Every structure is written in structure tokens, then in C-alpha cells.
Amino acid sequence: MPHPNDPALRSFVPVDPASDFPIQNLPYGVFSTAATPAPRVGAAIGDFVLDLAVLESEGLIDLSPAFEVFAQGSLNAFMALGPKMWSRTRARISELLRHDNPQLRDNKILRASALVPMADVKLHLPIAVAGYTDFYSSKEHATNVGVMFRGKDNALQPNWLHMPIAYNGRASTVVVSGTRVKRPRGQLKPPSAEVPSFGPCKRLDFELEMGVVIGQPSPMGEMLSEKQAEEMIFGFVILNDWSARDIQQWEYVPLGPFQAKAFATSISPWIVTREALQPFCVPGPVQDPVPLPYLQQTRPHNYDLQLDVSLRAASMNEAATICRTNFKYMYWSSVQQLVHHASSGCAMNVGDLLGSGTISGPEKDQRGSLLEISWNGSEPVELASGVSRTFLEDGDSLVMRGWCQGNGFRVGFGEVEGTIVG
């Protein structure tokens, strides 16, 4: 049987070469329809969602001894079955969708119930988020921010090149693409003020990130090897770490971000599996100094994954692209982040979400936040005739997209969108 990543595979479902969802991808999500409002698990293929709950109930996908795993409103139960079941199930879905397999292709009744037009579905948060940790792993981003606030000679903190830096965020406010984001309120103290005040954030920002979805647990008190950490990663989503810069500036000393990042974190509805991304693995930047032994890698864990961000103000007819970058630039890989997360003995859970940290590249147009793009508000971004931004305003809509380019196909994530409301 061909491997699901085989570039030669074709589906009986028509798929445009520019689609994010060819047969080589098969990302998982949770969806519902007006006719069947109960959320269940599906896989994206072209402009359709393949209803995996229907296929499981018909006996075309065997998850035994588990039962009705895909009829649930999150992927957590499926993820808990482990990497061997993930791989076996993806291979089975690929087999059923192949252009030369009549089993689903020629069963008109089953095909009509199992293949749902994407235009007819509502997409939900794909996982029950157990915990959320946000890293700070782009050297370019950390350097830009450091230069802004500490000067060129003290851009990186002494620990940054030795370990992945992170903070624990709020799982309760992780939301799916399309969820409107209310402008946060908080304590504000600009440099000119003697005392703080309380009110709406005036310097609202985005951060372009990837989210790592953890599909297997690890016990409290134990460390992880590189191989164990890799096998615990179920897949990836695009993640927008909304950030209130003025709230953050006042609160982050001495313990780091709190309310400035607790109000919302948006993720894309489709989880692209680690297996689907494997052909696009590339080495990351050279790490100097060499990390301590527990963080050293024996093989590449970065991905050649193109990303872009577009912004549309309420007065604009079309969105303007404000960032184009690549996930391959990340200094600390997702595997290193997970190894470090557990290194103290911290237990990891099914459904944990790890934000990569803002993804910036070496060029100005590769900066993954408005803080960097506008250089802390000193260089306004021109979006359209008469429209510019230093930070986000009410009514602004932000869209992030990401994909890996194959030979005649792309393995993509769809998009994560959020609109700011007052």
C-alpha cells in the first residue's frame, strides 16, 4: 500500500493544486452541520470534510478496542490512542480516498453522507485544551524586541541561547478561528504617567506562531528523550498569540506576561499531523553555544513551512499582506521545547498546547508582530490609501495562513482569523 505522504497519490475527490487539503495532508478537525448539530471529528479533503464518525460507525475505520472515538466533540480521545493508531488510521483514510479504490468512491449513499461540503460546516475548537504554554524561540524576534527595549548591546538575555524560554498561559481562552476578540482592559502606565490607570488596551498586537498539539502524556517526575518527545507530538496548528503591549509593559516585571496575553489565543481549526509534515523537515539554525546534552538533537525537527499575515481594516475592501516568513527560522525546535518543558519533571497531558513563540525571519518583511513591523509604533505600516497602523484598531480583521509546498500539491493549515471588537 502506498504511504499516505506519497506525492503520486490522487483522490477521487477533486482537489485543486492550490488547495491546502490534498490527499497527502488529511488534517483533523471537529465540525457540525445544521442537519446534524452534534460536533464530531472529520478530515479535510479538497473542498469537503470527510465525516470520520460516519466511517467509524459503518465499520470502515477500525479503532478497536476504542468505540465511537470520532463521534466526540474533540480529538482528545483519538489522540490518546497513540502514535501507532494515528499512523494506521491516516493510512486507512488515505486508502479510502484514493482514486483507484471503489469502496467509498462507488457507494453513492455512503459517499453522500460521509463527504460534507466545507461550505456547509461549522468548525469548532479541535481539542479540549488541557494546558497552554507559550515559548519565545525565534532569535530574530527576541533580538528585535531586545534592541527596542534594552539596546543593541544587550538584546538577548544571558539565558536565551541556552534553553527555550516560555511562560504558562491560559487554556481557558484558547479559541478557534473566526471567534471575535474583545479588546482587553487592564492596568496601563505610560512612561509619562506617575500612577497607573485602568482602561482599554491602546496598543493591541498579534503574534504569528505555530501551535504544537501534544497527543500523549508523560508522567510527573520523568524527563523525555528526543525520540519520546517527537512521538508525543500529534500535530500542528497556526496560532495567533494576541498581545496587549501596554498592559504587558507595566505588568511583566518581575514575573512576565499575565493579563496582557490571557484574554485570547486563536488557533486554526485543522490540525496537520506531524506525519504529514515529515517530508518538509529541515535543519534549524546552527545553535551556538551547543546546547546542554539533554537538548541536543540527532536529526532535524524544523519545517520548511511558509507563513503569511494579512490585515484588513473595516474601511478596506481587500486585506493587505504585512508579513511573509517561514517556520524554519525558529532557533529552538518544537521537540526541544517539549523536552525542556518536561525536564524538571513537569507532567504533560493529552491536549496540551505549546505556542512556538513569534516567528520572525531575518528580513524586515518577515517580522511576525506589529511591535516589530512598526518598530514599537515609530514606523506606521501603510495598508491602503489613507489607512495605516501601528497597532490594531477596533474592526481590524487579521488572517494568518501557512503551508508546505510539495511537487504539485501543498500541505496547508487553512487559516486562523480574528476580528477586533471594542
pLDDT in tens, 222-273: 999 999 999 999 999 999 999 999 999 999 999 999 999 999 999 999 999 9
User: Average pLDDT of 104-129?
Assistant: 98
- The residue type at 188: L
The answer to whether residue 385 scores a pLDDT higher than 90 is: no
Report phi then psi at 265, rounded to 5.
-135, 120
User: Average pLDDT of 166-174?
Assistant: 97
Provide the 8-state DSSP code for 153: G
Report pTM: 0.97
User: Average pLDDT of 210-216?
Assistant: 98
Q: How confident is the model at residue 17 (pLDDT cuts 50, 70, 90)?
A: very high
In the prediction, which pLDDT does 5 show? 98
pLDDT in tens, 73-93: 999 999 999 999 999 999 999
CA angle, residues 45, 46, 51, in degrees to nearest 5: 35
The fraction of the chain above a pLDDT of 70, given in percent, is: 100
Q: All 3 cell numbers of residue 233?
A: 507530538
User: Average pLDDT of 184-206?
Assistant: 97
Closest CA to 357 of 143, 183, 154: 143
User: Average pLDDT of 210-223?
Assistant: 98
User: Average pLDDT of 386-400?
Assistant: 97
In the prediction, which pLDDT does 1 show? 84
- The catalytic site residues sit at 141
CA distances from 274 to 189, 224, 226, 231, 262 (A): 43, 18, 15, 9, 27
User: Average pLDDT of 112-136?
Assistant: 98
How far apart, in whole angstroms, are the C-alpha atoms of residue 370 and residue 381? 9
Give SS3 for 242. Answer: coil
In the prediction, which pLDDT does 277 show? 98
